[in-house]
Structure 1
Amino acid sequence: MELKERILQEADQLFHAYGIRSVSMDDIARKAGVSKKTIYQYYKDKDDLVSVMVHEMLSQDIRHFQHISEKAQDAIEEVILGAEQIKKMIRMVNPVVVFDLQKYHPKAWSIYKNFKEQYFLGALIRLMHRGIEEGYFRKDINVEILAKMRVEQVQMGFDPTLFPFDKYNVMDVQWAFFDHFIHGIVTLKGYSKLIQYRQVYYQNEKLSQSLPS
């Protein structure tokens, strides 16, 4: 692994463990076993390092979602596998990181917003049209409105003013949103498909609980 990548990896681990604001460049240098001067050879400042980290993370997420889209046999499986991928992403993210990004790192936050408003929204709209064509999603839904709602739900689940971290588990909030969303758009055919996939993915306890019995 190149030194630049190792520095980024060590910084990412610190950020996800303690939040971005509380981690200094000195902390990153000690964790990576290098001097701050060495870090500055690759990254202009902490904000630059955070921006690169967010870009790399989202690029990887896009590749995962694209693979899911190609792999899924139908829209129901795609939305379930997509939700599973989001769950993996959430497990890797300290909720404080999202708050720190929005408040203290506007450049990195802009990268995230572009991902949300361009790729994520577009992918969800495409998925919902696929579900309608396959007969799994209702034809009478407003795709654009519900897609935007779903995108905002994911971010809303990280908002400590709505769901304080000492009171709500982020994963529970996100799965409640997913459960509400998917049940609101499926047809009877889609509902039956959900039952089938519940059996396929039964080993995932949380996913099984979110689907109808």
Structure 2
Amino acid sequence: MKEKILEKAADMFLTYGFKSITMDDLAQEMGISKKTIYAHFENKTALVKDCTLQLARIISSGIDSILCLNKNPIEELYEIKKFIMQYLKDEKSSPHYQLQKYYPKIFSTMRQKQYEVMKDCVVDNIKRGLEQGIYRENLNVEFISRIYYAGGASIKDHSLFPPDKFTNISLMDLYLEYHLRGIVTPKGRKILNTIINSNQE
């Protein structure tokens, strides 16, 4: 039952936001009593914490699956972006923003775990891009990997990128293209342009 509650709660939090969903909403949606939920989770904060940890594990596992496909590094970044956007439902309800605002401690823990996963993934991506000649050979790998993560976190800041001016999908596309155009070689640029053109069709 605990896993079912986690699964449904995560789905509702991503759809409507962490602040918006109450324990009553969850109980009603699942057709169970609040008492059943509280038998597994002390309070809503505990539920939110477990949900974010589970989401992090699922996303990490999904990224690992993409890495196993052995795509070229540019295609790989687009596949990861596509997977994350689909899984997070394009973040229409701004769960990232609500988590940061209403559950700052949980947000901080999640961000650290996210950084650890993404840093290793991006460093590996850059190194393979260098080996394949599609990323510029004079790149500072540590700097690029960190600035890529920092920029990805920044585009989720509503004060910098208000939702009424930027959709999450367009932000992710613009940011990924911005990142890649700064590091690709002419060979890599051809791959990038092919992907961008195919996405626009």
Q: Which residue of 1 aligns with 2:62?
A: 64
Query: How far 1:38 moved relative to its partner?
Result: 0.7
- Counterpart among 113, 120, 123 of residue 122 in structure 1: 120
Distance of 1:86 and 1:14 partners within structure 2: 17
- When structure 1 is superposed on structure 2, of 30-39 and 86-95 the one drifting more is 86-95
Distance of 2:92 and 2:191 partners within structure 1: 33
Query: How far 1:118 moved relative to its partner?
Result: 0.8
- Counterpart among 19, 23, 29 of residue 17 in structure 2: 19
Task: Indicate whether 1:53 and 2:59 are aligned.
Answer: no
Query: How far 1:90 moved relative to its partner?
Result: 4.5
Q: Which residue of 1 aligns with 2:31?
A: 33
- The DSSP-based 3-state class of the residue aligned with 1:152 is helix
Query: How far 1:198 moved relative to its partner?
Result: 5.8
Cα pair distance change 1:190/1:167, threshold 3 Å: closer
Cα pair distance change 1:90/1:178, threshold 3 Å: farther
- Counterpart among 167, 170, 173 of residue 171 in structure 2: 173
- Counterpart among 101, 104, 116 of residue 102 in structure 2: 104
Structure of higher RCO (CA pairs closer than 8 Å, 6+ residues apart): 2
Distance of 1:159 and 1:168 partners within structure 2: 11
Query: How far 1:74 moved relative to its partner?
Result: 2.4
Q: Name the Cα RMSD after superposition.
A: 2.0
Distance of 2:44 and 2:56 partners within structure 1: 18
C-alpha contact 1:116 1:151 (8 A) present in aligned 2:
no
Amino acid aligned to 1:12 = A
Q: Which residue of 1 aligns with 2:78?
A: 80
C-alpha contact 2:74 2:191 (8 A) present in aligned 1:
yes
Distance of 1:180 and 1:134 partners within structure 2: 20
TM-score (norm 1): 0.85
- When structure 1 is superposed on structure 2, of 116-125 and 149-158 the one drifting more is 149-158
Unaligned runs of 5+ in 2: none
TM-score (norm 2): 0.89
Task: Indicate whether 1:93 and 2:91 are aligned.
Answer: yes
Distance of 2:85 and 2:21 partners within structure 1: 25
Query: How far 1:54 moved relative to its partner?
Result: 1.0
> Where do 1:181-196 residues align within 5 Å?
181-195=179-193
> Where do 1:156-167 residues align within 5 Å?
156-167=154-165
Distance of 1:114 and 1:132 partners within structure 2: 27
Question: Across the two proteins, how many residue pairs are aligned to each other?
Answer: 201
- When structure 1 is superposed on structure 2, of 69-78 and 134-143 the one drifting more is 69-78
Distance of 2:21 and 2:75 partners within structure 1: 39
- Counterpart among 139, 142, 148 of residue 150 in structure 1: 148
Query: How far 1:184 moved relative to its partner?
Result: 0.9
Query: How far 1:95 moved relative to its partner?
Result: 4.8
Amino acid aligned to 2:165 = K
